[in-house]
Amino acid sequence: MKKASRIAFVGFEFLCWSFIGWLYEITLTFIAYSRYEDRGMLHLPFCPIYGFCGLIVLLTLGRIENKALFFAVSTVMITVIEYAVSYILDKCFNLWLWDYFGWKFNLNGRVALGSSLIFGALSLLMIKVLHPCADKIYAKLPEWAAFAVGILSVGLLLGDFLIIVLK
């Protein structure tokens, strides 16, 4: 696969992980509160923080073969990212998009042990199972189709984000 298609593939995976994160969020909310609540900040069903975390984990930890080590390091890494993003959103934009005050072992309501362990498990699933499967499927696409899927994925997210920003 050419470099341009490879970069486009990253956009496609970002979209997929953002969607999986959105599914996780609405499922968790439904289980906790017995109601549907759209947890995304975009119009489309995506939570970009999951896409960013997935890419960061893939790019920095993707070569770690030991699954226990990968789980531990990705859990800590995502917890640090989640705390930092929560803090920045709160202090810079006065946004509090999630809180863990009701969870055991939480730190200032920004992160909690239970969610961190879930994110570590999701990272393991995404990077060690879903990423290789998606990579194989994507590699079978014709070059033009692979590039188009990636560009369309990025375009969808950027378009939705711009609609939010420009309101």
pLDDT in tens, the chain (167 residues): 566 667 777 888 888 899 999 999 899 889 888 888 877 777 888 888 899 999 999 999 989 999 999 999 999 999 999 999 999 989 988 888 888 998 999 999 999 999 999 999 999 999 889 889 888 887 788 888 888 888 888 888 888 888 877 87
Return the residue matching tokens 């499967």. 133
Q: Is the pTM of this model over 0.75?
A: yes
All residues at 6 or more sequence positions from 105 whose CB lies less than 8 Å from its CB, including other chains: 112, 113, 114
- Beta-carbon neighbour count of residue 151 at 10 Å? 16
Helix (H, G, I), strand (E, B) or coil at 63: coil
